[in-house]
Structure 1
Amino acid sequence: MTDIVHPDTFHGLPVHTLPGPGQGSGGALPDAGSVAWRLESAWQDDLTFGTLWQHFVDTVDTTRVRALLIGPWWQEEYEPFAPVLELLVAHADRFPALRALFLADVVSEECELSWLEMCDITPVVEAFGELEELTARGCGEQIDDRPSLGLRPVRHKSLRSLKFESGGLSSGLVRAIGASELPALERLELWLGVTEYGGDTSVADLAPLLSGATFPALRHLGLQNSEIQDEIAAAVASAPVVAQLESLSLAMGTLGDEGAEALLSGQPLTHLTSLDLHHHYMSDPLVDRLRKLLGPDRVNGEVDEVEYWDPEEDDDRYVAVSE
């Protein structure tokens, strides 16, 4: 899983992994509100996530916790995320200061995205009414009856940043976001993925997000990691939402010359402070034209080098993150 790492900071705070009971050096823990707390229980003898959670709420002043990351929650065998979600919801009243939540901060060395047994995360969104930032990892396909990442339409007055990192987001989840009322939302990033892992989102499913009317406060939009990146670029080229954006990402997918031509012939993009197109399949002439459009004398666009790909030999493009 390229582009997937454990963050060193989250919500502007350094990430601190809580030692389990009897672990660590025995030194004092950081101030409860000074770090983003990360919990992980995988491959630790006799340490279930339930035990780690109880240790967390017993030893840390949860009334002052501002950011929380849930890392690997299983022991030896992969386990469903639903019981972890239930713990979060059941103890929501103990976290009045929580403003940022990361569900499934897991990298490929620990578990592939498509193997994570995620669930509908709507209850946790509804339980934390002051939440400002939410990131979740997982895929949208049910493989061997493993539950997948889901969301229902919600209304949330405080959420400012919403990010789904996935090798395949389901169209149902994407439509649920478009049907949600998120008046404070400023940043939205969706890794749409591939059909093999549940990424069945079409351009039509993105229509509410592209309209500009759904999220009036939106300033950054990421529609990325898609195998239909050219189609998405063509839709973005005439989408009303672009005029209100400060930054745009169409990165990590299969963007080629067709999508680049659509961007070049569409509405102005020069107001953007950042156009992220890394991991692409554009030819050098199209990359040069995009750089010229965005202004050679100022850094208001990111266009990384083209992925190794020879269209005369191989037309098999791939996204940055799938399994």
Structure 2
Amino acid sequence: MTIIDKAALHILDTAGSSLLSAAELPLAGEAGEYLLAHIEKSRKSPDKKAGTFYDDSACRKELAAYLAGEVEFLAFSRTLAESFLRALSHAADVAPMMLFVLEAHEDERRELIVFLCRSHAGFSPAVIDTEGGLSAELSACASLLPSVSATMDEFAFVDLATFAVHVRAKRYTVDGNAIFVLPELVLECGQAPSAREALKKARETAKKVAEAYGGDAIETAAAVKSFVANELAEKDAVNPFEAGREVFRENPAMQADYEQAIKEAGFAAPVEMDKESILKKMRNHKLKTDTGIELVIPTDYFDNTEFVEFRRGEDGTISITLKQIQNIVDRG
């Protein structure tokens, strides 16, 4: 169970209305529950990337000073906020944002957690005292936080024992260049591909190789999904290279082309994956035909001709046969 030990909330506004808090954020009641819910949700994100601090990272040095007791938590959090503001002051079209800096622990493992979210426009009820008595009206609000069911725009988790980093960030146009501000300019760390990126690249590369050799791209994509699902049954990481070796095991030339494309794309090492979230995405295979028909087929059934069969006609068209159907439910 994760326990939040300390928290700070800062408002970042490059237009000049920033507020760097002078006190820690109280965690009692719903505030703590809100942050814990986002911690749990962010941990499972398939978009998070493993990161490694650069050798000369100023953030890592500041973090080491904090861990050594040389800097108080609130002062350290304000330093992070100031780093964001310096970087974002050179960025184009940046809306006001809220920065959460947390220290948490789970058993003996301590973490620094950073959440960054943009202000969301909305309305809230306001009570107005009129001549006839109290009246309820709507008041425009431009600083609503993401709901518990939504996802923080950006986040970072730093293991305070190993300094391992996991980050989800967005690009900003800074001085004309597209830059991931959170990892590159604030934390100063490199990023490995995310689970979502690795799976997408493996699937798309396998499809292109299959098509180049006259194979079936749809069946190949499904085979990649099946491989990943089987791997995650025993492991916490999947190697994109191994996907190609398995899917194209009977054709060394296709294996070689696949591996070359994966290597050129920078996917060299196994990619860590959250089993629950990835396997959930692997349950179904979604298809859309050029005639507008959409199908959702369970991955387990995709290559089982007792339930689904694909046939390619002499004219190049594809026929799909669904078998053993006893009942159809109208979902419209």
Higher helix share: 2
Higher strand share: 2
Q: Which of these two proteins has the greater Rg computed from alpha carbons?
A: 2
Please give the TM-score of this superposition, normalised by the length of structure 1: 0.29
Please give the TM-score of this superposition, normalised by the length of structure 2: 0.28
**Greater RCO (CA < 8 Å, at least 6 residues apart):** 2
